[in-house]
Amino acid sequence: MRHPIGYALNWPARDALPVARLDLAQVSTLTFRAPEMARYPALRLAREVMARRGLAGAAFNAAKEIALDHFLAGGIGFMDMAGVVEDTLHALDPQMGASNLPEALEDVLGMDHLARIRAGEIARRRAGSR
């Protein structure tokens, strides 16, 4: 993490960092574990949306963008963002319908618009309850 943090602290410049270059041959072994879905609700939501397909992707993307906007503005906390997205997806479930498949670009744009409105309402409610 030293490299990403170093680059973030020096952004937008790419100054030389006082850390050794990452040498994966020297590391030689990487260990991967399945993520704990309870610890990472945004990952769980993303996987659920990918499995559902269709308009759920448009709703998810719009809701996460609005949640991020509210977080950056200080309205909600970092840990509230996944909740805003999840609540938005639940609220829009009836509008997505059983088939959940868009027939035209207008369907996707309409779901994006609706999700942004619902996510904004949900984020404002969460901000008011803080």
pLDDT of residue 78: 95
Fold adopted by 41-128:
Rna Polymerase Sigma Factor; Chain: A (1.10.1740)
Query: Which helix (DSSP H) or strand (DSSP E) does residue 27 occupy?
Result: helix 24-27
Domain ranges for the chain, please list them.
41-128
State the Cα–Cα distance between residues 21 and 10, nearest whole angstrom.
17
Separation of alpha carbons 42 and 33, rounded Å: 17
Give the pTM: 0.77
- Please compute the mean of the pLDDT values over residues 5-33 and round it to a whole number: 83
Percent of residues, the chain, with pLDDT higher than 70: 98
Measuring CA to CA, how many Å separate 116 from each of 39, 59, 112, 123? Answer: 25, 8, 6, 10
Annotate 82-118 with DSSP letters as a single string: HHHHHHHHHHHHHHHTTT---SSHHHHHHHHHHHHHH
pLDDT (0 to 100) of residue 46: 96
